[in-house]
Amino acid sequence: MYPICSPMPPAADSLSGSVEHVAASPHARRIPGEAGIWVFIFGDMLVFSLFFLTFVYYRGQDPELFHRSQGALNQVLGALNTVLMLTSSWCVATGVALARRGWHRAVARCFGLAFLCGLGFVVIKYFEYSEKIHAGVTLTTNDFFMYYYMFTGIHLMHVLIGMGVLAFMTRYAAAGGIDARKMVHIESGASFWHVVDLLWIVLFALLYLLG
């Protein structure tokens, strides 16, 4: 059985000897991607951790307001966006695994599918924002919605940047010739997208589910 992102047998793609050697060696253990991307990721996660702690603190100051405001969110749209983000991360993880085998066409398809999931996330978020604004719920309605718009808006910017990364990786992989250096770039982009997914899961739990 071949990977779902690959509608043709693996033999259809050329293998990269250097990548195959790295993937096959049991001693070739390393942090995926470039060191610089992990510095950025840890810094980004630190900032969002402060956001999350701030939200939890002020929620504790007025739990009734936050609980009542949470009830106004569309949990169906939030859950759908969570499914899209999880699916996109699965596509990216599959793409990285295929890249290590040199199956560049299948890798491009996986990243392309992940990009479409990201696009679906943006479209749903547009309708969710529109729904709230038309109902008169804005950034200044109360503290809950101030945090809601700020945190989800900052995350949305991450999604848009990540989509740019996915679009680049799709073209990058489709060009073929996945060597060790190219593999590092692919892993770096994939690591960023996984963080975008992780941040949304935490936001979904805090904003939509925390009781």
In DSSP notation, 69-83 reads HHTTS-HHHHHHHHH
Tokens encoding 18:
């250097």
Burial class (CB in 10 A: 0-12, 13-18, 19+), 127: exposed
What b-and-e string marks burial along 30-63, b requiring 16 or more CB atoms within 10 Å of the CB? eeebeeebbeebeebeeebeebbeebeebbeeee
**At a CB cut-off of 8 Å and minimum separation 6, what does 67 contact?**
211
pLDDT for 180 equals 86
pLDDT for 30 equals 65
**84-105 average pLDDT score:** 93
Amino acid type, 43: G
Per-residue pLDDT of 133-177, as tens digits, reads: 999 999 999 999 999 999 999 999 999 999 999 999 999 888 888
37 contacts 190 by C-beta, under 8 angstroms:
no
Q: What distance in Å separates the CA atoms of residue 137 and residue 141, rounded to the nearest whole number? A: 6
CB atoms within 10 A of CB 78: 20
Per-residue pLDDT of 58-73, as tens digits, reads: 999 999 999 999 999 9
193 contacts 162 by C-beta, under 8 angstroms:
yes
Q: What are phi and psi of 178, to 5 degrees?
A: -80, 95
Whether the per-residue pLDDT at 95 is higher than 90: the answer is yes
What phi-psi label fits residue 136: left (phi over 0), alpha (psi between -120 and 50 degrees) or beta? left
Could you give the dihedral angle defined by the CA atoms of residues 150, 152, 155 and 156, in that order, rounded to the nearest 10 degrees? -110
How many residues would you count in the chain?
211
Q: Kindly indicate the confidence band of residue 181, based on its pLDDT and cuts at 50, 70 and 90.
A: confident
Q: What distance in Å separates the CA atoms of residue 49 and residue 151, rounded to the nearest whole number? A: 11
Domains observed in the chain:
33-209 (1.20.120.80)
Per-residue pLDDT of 31-51, as tens digits, reads: 776 777 888 889 999 999 999
Helices (H), 104-174: 104-134, 143-174
